[in-house]
C-alpha cells in the first residue's frame, strides 16, 4: 500500500515539475503522444511476440528471456498509456529492458553455440592418447 502512495506522490511531483517547465499545452501534447505510442505498442504486440517465438524456436532465446521480454513489453506499453511523466519514464525503461533482453539473448546464445564443422577439432590440444596393453599373466601361470 505504501508503494502505491509513493508512486502517486512521485507521479504528481514529476508531472507538476515538467508541466511548470514546458507549459500546459506541451504537457497535453506529451500525454496524448505517449498514449498514442502506448496504444500502438499494444496493437502491434502480436508482431513482437511472434518474432520472440521464432527466436525461441530457433534457440536464440530461452524461455525465461522470452517471458521477461514479453512481460516488460506489455508493462512498458501500459505505463506509456497511463498519463503522467513518472509512468512514462518507467515505461521507457521497461521497453529499453525489453530491447536489451532481445538483443542480449540473441548475442549470448550465438556465442555459446558450437560450430558443427569445428566439433572434431575442438579439444585436440587437451587429449592424451593412451594405449592399453593387456598383459597375459594368465598365460605365464599356465606355462
Summarised one tens digit per residue, pLDDT across range 89-108 is 999 999 999 999 888 766 65
In this structure, what is the dihedral angle of CA atoms 67, 72, 78, 82, given to the nearest 10 degrees? Answer: 150
Summarised one tens digit per residue, pLDDT across range 54-100 is 888 888 888 888 899 999 999 999 999 999 999 999 999 999 999 99
Neighbours of 62 (CB within 10 A): 14
- Residue spans per domain, the chain: 24-109
Cβ burial, residue 24 (10 Å; 0-12/13-18/19+)? exposed
What lies within 8 Å, CB to CB, of 98 at 6+ separation is 69, 72, 73, 76
Amino acid at each position: 500500500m505504501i508503494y502505491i502512495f509513493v508512486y502517486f506522490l512521485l507521479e504528481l511531483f514529476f508531472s507538476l515539475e515538467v508541466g511548470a517547465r514546458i507549459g500546459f499545452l506541451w504537457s497535453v501534447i506529451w500525454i496524448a503522444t505517449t498514449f498514442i505510442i502506448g496504444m500502438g505498442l499494444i496493437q502491434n504486440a502480436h508482431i513482437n511476440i511472434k518474432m520472440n517465438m521464432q527466436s525461441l524456436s530457433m534457440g536464440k532465446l530461452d524461455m525465461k528471456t522470452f517471458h521477461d521480454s514479453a512481460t516488460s513489453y506489455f508493462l512498458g506499453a501500459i505505463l506509456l498509456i497511463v498519463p503522467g511523466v513518472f509512468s512514462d519514464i518507467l515505461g521507457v525503461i521497461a521497453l529499453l529492458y525489453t530491447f536489451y533482453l532481445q538483443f542480449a539473448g540473441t548475442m549470448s546464445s550465438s556465442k555459446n553455440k558450437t560450430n558443427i564443422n569445428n566439433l572434431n577439432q575442438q579439444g585436440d590440444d587437451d587429449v592424451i592418447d593412451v594405449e592399453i596393453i593387456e598383459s597375459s599373466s594368465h598365460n605365464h601361470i599356465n606355462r
